[in-house]
Amino acid sequence: MGSIFLGKARHWLLFVLVAIAFWITGIYHLHVSEFNIFMGITGGLALILVFAVILDYRPGDRVTREPLPEPDDE
């Protein structure tokens, strides 16, 4: 499965947790009844995810299926 799902398992777990959080906010209709709270949850989750990925990245980690071409120094 490692060749199908690139990235670390904890990143995929965070993705599942965000999907569950959005499902719960959808059940309670926060996107239409309490929009400010919904945007706070969305913004907070986005910040957590971005920082989790940035702080967890190590040089040499595989992030794409094909290797990225080296930039030309010209």
Query: Would you say residue 65 lies in a domain?
Result: no
Quote the pTM value: 0.68
The total of structural domains in the chain comes to: 1
Is residue 41, in this structure, part of any structural domain at all?
A: yes
Handedness of CA 56, 60, 66, 67 (dihedral sign): positive
Residue 66 within a domain: no
- Give me the tens of pLDDT residue by residue for the chain, a chain 74 residues long: 666 677 778 888 998 999 999 999 999 998 899 999 999 999 999 999 889 888 887 777 766 777 777 777 65
Residue numbers of the domain that contains 49: 9-56
Domain presence at residue 68: no
- Does residue 62 sit within a domain? no
Task: Tell whether 44 is covered by a domain.
Answer: yes
CA–CA separation, 32 and 69 (whole Å): 45
Q: Using CA atoms, how far apart are residues 9 and 50, in angstroms rounded to an integer? A: 15
